[in-house]
A = this chain, B = another copy of it.
Amino acid sequence: VDVKRYKVLNLEKKKYHHGDLPGQLIEAVRQLIERDGPDDFKVADAARLAGVSTAAPYRHFANRADLVRHVVIAAMGRMKEGMAQAASSHRAGDPGRVIALGRSYVEFASQEPGMFQVMFSGTSEHVHDPELKALGDETLKVVQLVVAEHLGIEIDAHEARLRAYALWCFVHGHSFLHIDSKLPEQFTDEIEDELLRLVGDAILPERT
């Protein structure tokens, strides 16, 4: 793999002290995960991409897993941010709101497929990290809130939770199938739209 083709992130005149190496390593890993696949990036590549020696990362991260953890936290933040924004760009009653929320999720997954897999890769270590769990829960909360408002019921109502989870499953599954290019042939953007609307409507029926 030709790393040299990637421009070194640290563009300014090469200083001995780096400025924000942790941040740039995280960004480097983000890029490498997309380039090489969920778990195939090399710490050394990340270092090179950030323009430092292969030993430098260990001044800031205990080990590879620790680095990944920080990368995932950053990604979760981005995702939650995107969803919160989608939700806040529609009024509470707006039927397009749920669609926008779902689309935001799917979009994240297709823009950062590698990262998406890292975030939801089952038996991976970081599943039980409390910080990550908290972030995940907050994101789910966003969905639950939107659903509850749509249905005009309490956020903690059984119905709200159930339907929110159903929607989550759907976008999650679609995201994965999309990433794995397991979707049926001729799956155009229009069909995706139709799909989102169909499911949104089915699970959160229009209030009349």
Contacts and interface: CB of A to CB of B under 8 A. Distances in A.
Report whether over half of chain A's contact residues are helix, strand or loop; otherwise say mixed: helix
Interface stretch (A55-63, A67-75, A166-174): A166-174
Interface residues of A, number: 41
Given A162-B194, A166-B199, A172-B176, A123 B114 contact: yes
Nearest to A166: B199
A182 B114 contact: no
B123 A176 contact: no
A153 interface: no
A174 B173 contact: yes
A39 B203 CA distance: 36
A166 B191 CA distance: 11
A208 interface: no
A73 to B, nearest CB: 16
Contacts of A80: none
A113 B122 CA distance: 8
